[in-house]
């Protein structure tokens, strides 16, 4: 079993542990009948939601090994597919609810948000857990203390990429990486540009939680 699958198994345990500091589940809209999890891994969040069998759920991830492992354990109303968040393989207006738990930070966010808006039905809801900018500052401090120069350099790339996204609405990809961190105001601007109206929501110590609704 690959390291990726082991990671997603740990994430499943975390999703089922409400007392864990990193535990966060999206609030499922009561009228939602079709939902999509972008960056689903093995489908751990979908399983932790304990969905009503009448809800048709889809999960998408770029990790083929995790998708194959998850397909063996998810319920019959959960469908896991291989794909990228920037190119969702679903028709327009397919879902009442789309969410993504700490997967968007590794994607081309403007492209992914445009795809999310496309597959959401008018009035549909969006929820995401993101990496806040403070998390990057903490990582840089730890790297400097431990002398990890290579990771400091990568963190500088993430910081510059995040700044470019905030100011110019563009990200850069180097050796397959386009990672960013977010501020609430900056991400709300990106949401509005894609026809998604942000909603007020609380914060967590290690995650930036955002919610939005597709305009009617």
Q: Is there a single domain that holds both residue 87 and residue 167?
A: no
Pairing of strands 120-130, 208-214: antiparallel
Q: Is there a single domain that holds both residue 17 and residue 70?
A: yes
132-151 confidence digits (pLDDT tens):
999 999 999 999 988 999 99
Q: Is there a single domain that holds both residue 127 and residue 206?
A: yes
pLDDT higher than 90, residue 19: no
160-212 confidence digits (pLDDT tens):
999 999 999 999 999 889 999 999 999 999 999 999 999 987 666 578 999 99
Give the range of the structural domain holding residue 205, as residue numbers without chain letter. 3-131+182-214
Q: Is there a single domain that holds both residue 55 and residue 109?
A: yes
Among 47-51, 58-62, 104-108, 113-117, the minimum mean pLDDT is found in 47-51
Q: Is there a single domain that holds both residue 26 and residue 125?
A: yes
Q: Is there a single domain that holds both residue 56 and residue 103?
A: yes
Residue 18: its pLDDT value, please? 66
Q: Is there a single domain that holds both residue 56 and residue 149?
A: no
Instruction: Tell me how far apart the alpha carbons of residues 171 and 9 are, in angstroms, rounded to a whole number.
Output: 31
Q: What is the pTM of this model?
A: 0.90
CATH code assigned at 100 = 3.40.50.150
Q: Is there a single domain that holds both residue 74 and residue 123?
A: yes
Number of independent structural domains in the chain: 2
Q: Is there a single domain that holds both residue 24 and residue 93?
A: yes
Instruction: Tell me how far apart the alpha carbons of residues 194 and 189 are, in angstroms, rounded to a whole number.
Output: 9
Q: Is there a single domain that holds both residue 119 and residue 203?
A: yes
Asked if residues 37 and 57 have their Cβ atoms less than 8 Å apart, the reply is yes
**Rounded average pLDDT over 55-63:** 96
Cβ-proximal residues to 124 (8 Å cutoff; 6+ apart), any chain: 95, 96, 97, 98, 213, 214
Residue 21: its pLDDT value, please? 60
Q: Is there a single domain that holds both residue 49 and residue 97?
A: yes
CA dihedral 181, 133, 135, 176 (to 10 degrees): 20
Which residue, 15, 45, 51, is CA-closest to 33? 51
Instruction: Tell me how far apart the alpha carbons of residues 178 and 39 are, in angstroms, rounded to a whole number.
Output: 15
Residue 24: its pLDDT value, please? 75
Cβ-proximal residues to 132 (8 Å cutoff; 6+ apart), any chain: 181, 182, 183, 206, 207, 208
């Amino acid at each position: 079993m690959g390291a990726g699958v082991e990671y997603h198994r740990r994430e499943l345990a975390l999703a089922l542990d409400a007392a864990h500091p990193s535990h966060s589940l999206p609030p499922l809209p009561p009228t939602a009948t079709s939902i999509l999890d972008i960056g689903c891994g093995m489908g751990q969040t979908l399983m932790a939601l304990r969905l009503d069998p009448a809800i048709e759920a889809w999960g998408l991830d770029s990790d083929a090994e995790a998708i194959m492992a998850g397909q063996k354990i998810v319920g019959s109303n959960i469908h896991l597919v291989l794909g990228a968040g920037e190119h969702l393989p679903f028709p327009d207006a397919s879902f009442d609810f789309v969410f993504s738990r700490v997967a968007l930070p590794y994607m081309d966010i403007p492209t992914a948000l445009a795809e999310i808006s496309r597959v959401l039905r008018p009035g549909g809801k969006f929820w995401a857990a993101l990496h806040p900018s403070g998390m990057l500052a903490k990582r840089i401090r730890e790297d400097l203390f431990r002398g990890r120069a290579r990771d400091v350099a990568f963190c500088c790339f993430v910081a510059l990429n995040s700044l470019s996204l905030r100011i110019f609405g563009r990200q850069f990809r180097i050796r397959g990486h386009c990672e960013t961190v977010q501020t609430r105001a900056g991400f709300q601007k990106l949401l509005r540009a894609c026809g998604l109206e942000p909603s007020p929501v609380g914060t967590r110590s290690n995650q930036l939680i955002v919610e939005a609704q597709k305009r009617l």
